[in-house]
Amino acid sequence: MRILQLCNKPPFPPIDGGSKAMHNITQGLLEAGHQVKVLCISTKKHPLKVASVPEDYRERTRIEGVFVDTSLNVVDAFTDLVTADNYNISRFFSPDMDIRLIQLLSQEEFDIIHLESLFVTPYIPTLRRYSKARIVLRSHNLEHVIQERIARGERNILKKPYRKFLARQLKNYEVKVLKEVDGVAAITDADALHMGEHGCTTPIITVPFGVDPSEYAVDRPQGAPIFFHLGSMDWLPNEEGIRWLLRTVWPRVIRKHPHAKLHLAGNRMPKDMIRARLPGTTVVGRVPDANRYIGQRHVMLVPLFSAGGMRVKIIEGMAMGKCIISTTIGAEGIDHQPGKNILIADTAAAFTEQIEKVIADPKLADTIGGNAVELIRKQHTNSEIIKGLVAFYASLLKT
């Protein structure tokens, strides 16, 4: 098949959950023998640096980026508020990208146009006008669900109504878009069910995040358990969760276990967290090798309360045999069994209790981690996931 993969940010290098999810789709399709053209939005925050892309990858994907200024603009945000457009989405639209799409679709024919995330859906009218390809939306998250959860947790009485408005606005847009594509590749069964409950009759398949197990070594570091979190801190749910952990959980742990260790790392780590120097904590920003960072530590903490979709870092941590302690929301979309291949806690008291279990019995972390590896190899091997996606493409081409 000839596939155009339209991305809201560069899939290479795969440095965060979103780019890894896109990159693994690209690699899986190429390895399955399909032609993939990658066109992405390049921004100040996520620039495409073509020179750093391996030559073979450049040649096979013909990857290119179009710069779009997605930085926040108060005037544009207010205008969208008045016109009922959603600024979270509209700021990803650019006449330059629209023109490049027109040029590309006038020169080449594709069987499938694969849209990575809701943020590239403003280009659907152009895609329909200049191409007969089937359009598939790869839904990384149900964006309105994230916004609804953020709104529920908002403490500022002035911000809360605005966040609720944005969530409703985004929900209306998301429901509308689901009717405009030919197929949807949801990242979790829960997301697919949620779409159906909102009246979506567009064909839907669940395509979870996949990995190549051979790329994730199972490490068993020695010594007392080190608890850790690794994630981009410019994503609000991550920052929200870690501030909760430091405020309500870690002080309880350190009072009873003064030698306990908590390591935090991630892109754009807030300076106040780095400067705080809380007892037992080591806080840094981006690390050069995420897998090495994970491998050298024991127990991954995922305190998320407003996320959606599937957490890539949990999948990767499980693939490396790590014990995960997560909230129910953090573990959404993963076919887990609490107490067997993951530990679940939704309150400060429960989170503290799970951490103390591992401190009291470090072998528990190895047992949970071993079971987690089995789960990933059974359900999240990328090559098998891609087979399902390709079959879904083929079914759409027959209609």
Give the residue-averaged pLDDT of 65-84: 63
What is the pLDDT confidence band of residue 78, given thresholds at 50, 70 and 90? Answer: very low
Whole-number Å distance between alpha carbons of 291 and 109: 39
Whole-number Å distance between alpha carbons of 308 and 372: 21
The residue type found at 225 is P
Give tens-digit pLDDT for 327-353. 999 998 898 999 999 999 999 999 999
pTM (predicted TM-score)? 0.81
Percentage of the chain beyond pLDDT 90 is: 68
Residue 243 confidence (pLDDT): 96
Helix axes 17-31, 382-397, angle to 10 degrees: 70
Arithmetic mean of pLDDT over the chain? 89
Higher pLDDT, 198 or 66: 66
Whole-number Å distance between alpha carbons of 29 and 26: 5
Query: How many C-alpha atoms does 283 have within 13 Å on its Cβ side?
Result: 18
Whole-number Å distance between alpha carbons of 201 and 204: 8
Helix axes 143-153, 159-178, angle to 10 degrees: 170
The yes-or-no verdict on residue 232 having pLDDT over 60 is yes
What is the pLDDT confidence band of residue 86, given thresholds at 50, 70 and 90? Answer: low
* Burial per residue of 129-152, b for 16 or more beta-carbon CB atoms within 10 angstroms, e otherwise: eebebbbbbbbbbbbbbbbbbbbe
Beta bridge partners of 302: 326
Residue 141 confidence (pLDDT): 66
Closest CA to 363 of 224, 216, 219, 217: 224
Q: ∠ CA 362-368-370 to the nearest 5 degrees?
A: 105
Residue 80 confidence (pLDDT): 44
Q: ∠ CA 326-330-336 to the nearest 5 degrees?
A: 70
DSSP reduced 3-state for 183: strand
Give the residue-averaged pLDDT of 366-383: 95
Query: How many C-alpha atoms does 378 have within 13 Å on its Cβ side?
Result: 10
Residue 142 confidence (pLDDT): 62
Give the residue-averaged pLDDT of 127-155: 79
The yes-or-no verdict on residue 280 having pLDDT over 50 is yes
Residue 235 confidence (pLDDT): 84
What is the pLDDT confidence band of residue 258, given thresholds at 50, 70 and 90? Answer: very high
Tokens 């073509």 label which residue? 50
Residue 169 confidence (pLDDT): 76
Residue 145 confidence (pLDDT): 63
Among 85-94, 170-179, 271-280, 373-382, the range scoring the smallest mean pLDDT is 85-94
Tokens 């690209």 label which residue? 26
Give tens-digit pLDDT for 16-47. 888 999 999 999 999 999 999 999 999 998 99
Domains and CATH numbers, the chain: 2-210+381-397 (3.40.50.2000), 214-379 (3.40.50.2000)
The yes-or-no verdict on residue 81 having pLDDT over 60 is no
Whole-number Å distance between alpha carbons of 184 and 392: 9
For every residue of 18-69, DSSP letters joined together read: HHHHHHHHHHHHHHTT-EEEEEEEE-SSS---GGGS-HHHHHHH--EEEE--
Contact 245, 253 (CB under 8 A): no
Q: ∠ CA 129-392-329 to the nearest 5 degrees?
A: 100
